[in-house]
Amino acid sequence: CKAHKVAVLPGDGIGPEIMDAALKVLTAAGRKEGETFEFKHALIGGAAIDATGNPLPEETLDICKASDSVLLAAIGGYKWDTLPAAQRPERGLLGLRAGLNAFANLRPAIVPRQLADSSPLKKEIVEGVDILIVRELVGGIYFGQPRGFGTNEKGDRIGFNTDVYSEPEVERIARVAFEAAQKRQKRLCSVEKSNVLEVSQLWKEVVIRVAKDYPDVELSHMYIDNAAMQLLRNPKYFDVVVTGNIFGDILSDEASMLAGSLGMLPSASISGSGPGIFEPVHGSAPDIAGQDLANPMAMVMSAAMMCRYDLKIPKVADRLEAAVDQALDQGLRTKDLWKEGTTLVKCSELGNKLVELV
């Protein structure tokens, strides 16, 4: 059988370390199921800026487009923080999302039972939480035109952005969310701010219309401010959440705290047609880069999502997830999660251990 073509973008900071570990684990898990991978490395973010002056070189986008799937580790760092916004590492990420039309960002917020204690929230609140946030990723205020700087009637300098959604944009993300809900608890909560914003009114209207095609899914609506609250008050209320780009950015990071650590959380950004992007939710952590201290689990879990959603090799995904689960059971913890009574391991050690476990 043919090798799965995977574009590999290690990026910055701890990116290369966790990617290294994850590729080993992925290769080992594939071998067990008779699946092979062809990894093509490419530059993105700060690493790409340093080498080419561009956070998303054309070559990188071409490699990604020619692959079955894209694995991305992390981008950014202090080093590039003083560059003008338009030239910063983040632009590479936004360009990649847009370039691949990866419109559906799936962010599971799951609290692994072994880690229910690490959350800043009380154990009884977070235990058993299993939320899937479906965030629209290539529209809304992130990409809306017009945007920029100008002058108002009074002659004052202004900065402005446009938050905009079209009917088809809302419809396609809503369908992804309804379909995900059908495979889960069949509850979907649409989050917006329709009591104030027209863009949210259109959002809500389209979601309600699309809901007719999914009569088995129970739909609810919540304002973003209330959602930010309910996520803490009663996170078990949520099954699937669907929301726009900026609200999804905020809500999914907030939700990640239910799990206590970003070190565990993967994400998938899928386009439905071409390759998707699979990346951990956490950042590049420049403060611990190069010290073999990072937690590779979110990267491994991202590879699992890739196997499930893009490459359609769910058995490999199962192996990856089971290995992570077992490592947690065995008490193996990188520095971010270490506690009295658990075993501190380095990033590379944990990678090797996961290779044994898959």
Ligand X SMILES: CC(C)[C@H](C(=O)O)[C@@H](O)C(=O)O
The angle subtended at Cα 333 by Cα 231 and Cα 311, nearest 5°, is 70
CA nearest neighbour of 57 among 66, 72, 46: 46
Cβ pair 46, 76 in contact under 8 A: yes
3-class secondary structure for 291-343? CCCCCCHHHHHHHHHHHHHCCCCHHHHHHHHHHHHHHHHCCEECCCCCCCCCE
Q: State which of positions 160-219 bind its own copies (CB under 8 A).
A: 160-169, 193-203
Residue nearer to its own copies on the CB measure, 286 or 351: 286
Q: How far is the CB of 280 from ligand X (least distance, A)?
A: 10
Q: Is 193 a catalytic residue?
A: yes
When binding is defined by CB under 8 A, the residue of 94, 211, 322, 355 that contacts its own copies is 94
Q: State which of positions 60-89 bind its own copies (CB under 8 A).
A: 85, 88
Q: Which stretch binds ligand X (CB under 6 A): 11-19, 65-73, 86-94, 160-168?
A: 86-94
Q: How far is the CB of 101 from its own copies (least distance, A)?
A: 15
Q: State which of positions 87-106 bind ligand X (CB under 6 A).
A: 90, 93-94
Q: Which stretch binds its own copies (CB under 8 A): 39-47, 152-160, 306-314, 333-341?
A: 152-160
When binding is defined by CB under 8 A, the residue of 98, 211, 246, 322 that contacts its own copies is 246
Rounded distance between C-alpha atoms, residue 17 and residue 79, angstroms:
18
**Per-residue CA distances from 253 to 180, 182, 250, 271 (Å):** 20, 24, 5, 22
Residue nearer to its own copies on the CB measure, 42 or 191: 191
Q: State which of positions 293-352 bind its own copies (CB under 8 A).
A: none
Instruction: Tell me the two tokens of residue 167.
Output: 């009917």
Q: Is 81 a catalytic residue?
A: no
Q: Is 165 a catalytic residue?
A: no
Binding residues for its own copies, total number by CB under 8 A: 60
Q: How far is the CB of 120 from its own copies (least distance, A)?
A: 5
Q: How many CB atoms lie under 10 A from the CB of residue 292?
A: 18
**Per-residue CA distances from 333 to 89, 258, 296, 304, 349 (Å):** 30, 18, 10, 20, 10
Give kind and range of the element (H or E) at residue 101.
none
Which among its own copies, ligand X, none contacts residue 35 (Cβ within 5 to 8 A by kind)?
Answer: none
Q: Is 225 a catalytic residue?
A: yes
What residue is closest to ligand X based on CB? 90
Q: Is 58 in the site for ligand X (CB under 6 A)?
A: no
Strand, coil or helix: what is 155?
coil
Strand, coil or helix: what is 12?
coil
Q: Is 142 a catalytic residue?
A: yes
Binding site for ligand X (CB under 6 A): 90, 93-94, 195-196, 225, 249
